[in-house]
Amino acid sequence: MSVPHDLMDGLERPSLIRGLSLFDWLWAALVLASAVGVYVEFNAALGMYQQAILAGATAALIGVGWYWKPMRALSLVIAGLSLFAILLYGNQYSAGESNFILVWWLSSPAAIAWMNGLFLTATVAYVLGLAVRGDALSERSLALGSWLTWAAVTMGFVALMVRWRESYLIAPDFGHIPVSNLFDVFVLFCVVTGLLYLYYETRYRQRALGALALLIISAAVAFLIYYAVAYHADKIEPLVPALKSYWMKIHVPANFIGYGSFAFSAMVGVAYLLRDRAERLHPDGRVVRRLPSLEMLDDIMYRYIALGFAFFTLATILGALWAAQAWGGYWSWDPKETWALIVWLNYAAWLHMRFSKGWRGRPLAVWSFVGLIVTTFCFLGVNIFLSGLHSYGKL
């Protein structure tokens, strides 16, 4: 098991621009050219704010591709498969019921089914990789889990891209970004959390945490399957009036980067508690050999909570601006808003105790897992048990 000597290895680089290669600039040119193509094709339908979102997304994709090289290949594969599916659809939504490739592979229902199966299989591979005795067999199983996770994330993003196009094929006034209901955002949660885990895996060159990270994704997949089967929630529905806004394109993704980061940090906290116990009871056991060190786990947990807190703060500010436009006020103490504030205060206190009081280790690991319970209620429980202005995904 390869462990970086420096916990900051690959995470902080003093001069990104000076270190850019020819391929980095070619990547930037490709993304920029694609954005210009989108602008030229859809300029008539893009208002000032949508143009700003397109520009921001372009800059973000270029920057992420520079900073994390695997994002380039992933983006190109997602774009290629999505465009291929869109070409197969043409202008007929019914093609999704007759074209063999769409029916079995690239329509949004098919791609989501592939995503679900791949995530569940990856979870099994990661768990076996952590549990089996032989180190060689363990590495092969963990590597398989990694490849399956990459494939699952790819199919999930393809599903979202194709579902976006499908909504316009049903009817032009149906068309919207697929982050508007509980089914859509569960798909988004799965792929965002999977991508955040894969970033950790490639940067720290560690795969053992996949056994825990994929468990939380598999729980989301299980709910997604149940929700689709029991409530036919996978159908594309028109937007309610309050959601017909450009704010949805930035508020919801920012929110789910926060949710995904908090979920992964909670699983890192669980890994910390498992390793801490194993070091005391079985210092030469498989858990100690395969999980990262306590110092590294503590550092990863902090980094992902800090990332999640930053994006959740941004999402909360964007949500307040959206609320002012949609409902005439920045804050209304709606149950979703109240619980979002509770989540924000929980992680603000977590970070405060780490910075100002020097807390480390077990207390913060336990707190991180408790934070996941609070966040889950905000994400899902409010929709099930409470009602309010944000009740777009009730069971």
| pLDDT for residue 19 | 80
Give the single-character DSSP code of 16.
Answer: T
Using pLDDT thresholds of 50, 70 and 90, give the confidence band for residue 7: very low
Q: How far apart are CA 336 and CA 342, in angstroms?
A: 10
Mean of pLDDT values over 187-214? 95
Using pLDDT thresholds of 50, 70 and 90, give the confidence band for residue 11: very low
For the chain, percent of residues with pLDDT exceeding 90 = 71
Give the single-character DSSP code of 5.
Answer: S
In contact, 291 and 272? CB cutoff 8 Å: no
Q: How far apart are CA 139 and CA 126, in angstroms?
A: 10
| pLDDT for residue 240 | 80
pLDDT-wise least confident of 62-76, 189-203, 286-300 = 286-300
> Is the predicted pLDDT of residue 384 greater than 80, yes or no?
no
Using pLDDT thresholds of 50, 70 and 90, give the confidence band for residue 211: very high
- CA 194-198-201 angle, to 5 degrees, is 140
Mean of pLDDT values over 20-46? 93
Mean of pLDDT values over 355-376? 94
> Is the predicted pLDDT of residue 390 greater than 60, yes or no?
no
Q: How far apart are CA 107 and CA 95, in angstroms?
A: 9
Give the single-character DSSP code of 95.
Answer: G
| pLDDT for residue 284 | 81
- First-to-last CA distance in the chain? 44
Using pLDDT thresholds of 50, 70 and 90, give the confidence band for residue 159: very high
Using pLDDT thresholds of 50, 70 and 90, give the confidence band for residue 9: very low
Mean of pLDDT values over 317-331? 87
Mean of pLDDT values over 300-325? 95
| pLDDT for residue 330 | 86
**CA–CA distance from 208 to each of 212, 272, 367 (Å)?**
8, 12, 22
Using pLDDT thresholds of 50, 70 and 90, give the confidence band for residue 194: very high
The domains of the chain are located at: 94-239, 245-395
In which element (H, E) is residue 231 found?
Answer: helix 210-231
Q: What is the mean pLDDT of the chain?
A: 90
The token pair that represents 186 in the structure block: 């569960």
Provide the 10 A C-beta neighbour count for residue 382.
22
Mean of pLDDT values over 94-109? 96
Q: What is the pLDDT of residues 45-76, one digit of tens each?
A: 888 989 999 999 999 999 999 999 999 999 99
| pLDDT for residue 55 | 96
| pLDDT for residue 172 | 83
Using pLDDT thresholds of 50, 70 and 90, give the confidence band for residue 243: confident
| pLDDT for residue 333 | 86
Contact partners, residue 104, CB within 8 Å, separation at least 6: 110
Using pLDDT thresholds of 50, 70 and 90, give the confidence band for residue 185: very high
